[in-house]
Amino acid sequence: MQGKKIVVMGVANSRSIAWGCARALEENGAEVIYTYQNDRMKKSLTRTVGEDKSMVACDVADDDNVTKAFEEIHEKHGNIDGVIHAVAFADKETLEGGVLNTKRDGYRMAQDISSYSLIAVSRAASRIMNEGGSIATLTYFGSTRAIPNYNMMGIAKAALESSVRYLARDLGPQKIRVNSISAGAMKTLAVTGIKEHSKLLQLSRDLTVDGNEVTLEEIGNVATFLMSPLSTGVTGDIIYVDKGVHLS
Ligand SMILES: NC(=O)c1ccc[n+]([C@@H]2O[C@H](COP(=O)([O-])OP(=O)(O)OC[C@H]3O[C@@H](n4cnc5c(N)ncnc54)[C@H](O)[C@@H]3O)[C@@H](O)[C@H]2O)c1
C-alpha cells in the first residue's frame, strides 16, 4: 500500500471499525487521511490517532460539507486512492420503537446518514480519485434478515448494499471499485444505540464458527485488501467478515 492515500471516515474512538481499518492500512504502508463529524468527534479522533495525523471535517448530513471536505483533501494531499466509509446513524426513538412505529423523519435521517451519504461521498471522492481507486463501506447482516432490535438500521443497510451495486456500475468506467464489508457485531459506540445490544452481541458470538467474535484487525485486513490492487476483480460485492455468523 506504499504511496496510496486512503480517506478513512468514521473513527470515533479506539473501538471504531474505522480505526481497525486505518491501523491495518497504515501498517501496510498507506497514508491515511481522517475525517470527523464535528468538533466533539475531532477531540476523540485526536485522542485515538494522535495529533500528527491529517484530519478534515466532514459531516455527511450536509452535501456542501462533503464537497468541501474532498476539495480540502485534494488541496492538501492531491489525488486519493481510496475511501473507507464507516458512518451510520439512527436516532434512539427510531431504533428502539420497532419498524412499525418508525416516523417519517426518523426514517429519513437514518437513510440519509447511513445510506445516501455513500452516494454523496462517492461522487465527491471520485472527482479526486486515481484510476484503480476503491471505495468500501460497512454493512451488517440485518440488511437481509429481520434481526431482533436492529430495526430501521436493517432497512438503511439494505439500501446501502443496493447503492454499492449501482455505484460500482456507475464508477466502473472510471476504474473505481465500490464494495462493502458485512462485519460481525462488535461493541462500538454506534451499537450501544441498539436496544438490548448485549443480547445482539451474544447472539452473534454464539453463531460464529468458533465461538469468538471477529476482531477489528480482521476487518481492517479485509478493508486493506479491498483498497489494494489484489482485489481489482472485486466490485459491487458484499464480503462477510463475521466469522461465519451469516451461515446460520
Ligand atoms: N459495530 C458493529 O457491530 C457493526 C457491524 C456491522 C457494520 N457496522 C457498521 O460499521 C460502521 C462504523 O460503525 P462502528 O460500529 O464502528 O461505530 P462508531 O460509533 O465507532 O462509528 C460510527 C461513526 O459514524 C460517524 N457519524 C455519524 N453521523 C455522522 C455524520 N452526520 N457525519 C459524519 N460522520 C458521522 C460517527 O462520528 C462515528 O465516527 C457503521 O456503518 C456501522 O453500521 C457496525
pLDDT recorded at residue 165: 98
pLDDT recorded at residue 200: 87
pTM of the model: 0.98
pLDDT (tens digit, 9 = 90+) per residue, 121-178? 999 999 999 999 999 999 999 999 999 999 999 999 999 999 999 999 999 999 999 9
* Residue 51 backbone dihedrals phi, psi, to 5 degrees: -75, -20
Secondary structure (H, E, C), the chain = CCCCEEEEECCCCCCCHHHHHHHHHHHCCCEEEEEECCHHHHHHHHHHHCCCCEEEECCCCCHHHHHHHHHHHHHHHCCEEEEEECCCCCCHHHHHCCHHHCCHHHHHHHHHHHHHHHHHHHHHHHCCEEEEEEEEEEECHHHCCCCCCCCHHHHHHHHHHHHHHHHHHHHHHHCCEEEEEEECCCCCCCHHHCCCHHHHHHHHHHCCCCCCCCCHHHHHHHHHHHHCHHHCCCCCCEEEECCCHHHC
**How far does the centroid of ligand 1 lie from the alpha carbon of residue 127, in Å?**
24
**How far does the centroid of ligand 1 lie from the alpha carbon of residue 202, in Å?**
20
| Closest protein CA for atom 4 of ligand 1 | 185
Return the CATH fold of 5-242. Rossmann fold (3.40.50)
**How far does the centroid of ligand 1 lie from the alpha carbon of residue 85, in Å?**
9
* pLDDT surpassing 90 at residue 60: yes
Mean pLDDT of 210-234: 97
ipTM score over 0.95, yes or no: yes
* pLDDT surpassing 90 at residue 39: yes
- Probe target for ligand 1 pocket from 7, 15, 16, 44, with the most ligand atoms within 8 Å of CB: 16
Higher-scoring residue by pLDDT: 17, 191 = 17
Residues designated as active site: 140, 150
> Ligand 1 site: residues with CB under 6 angstroms?
10-12, 16-18, 37, 41, 58-61, 86-89, 113, 138-140, 183, 185-186, 188-191
**How far does the centroid of ligand 1 lie from the alpha carbon of residue 89, in Å?**
7
Mean pLDDT of 83-106: 96
Q: Which atom of ligand 1 is nearest to the CA of 141?
A: 6
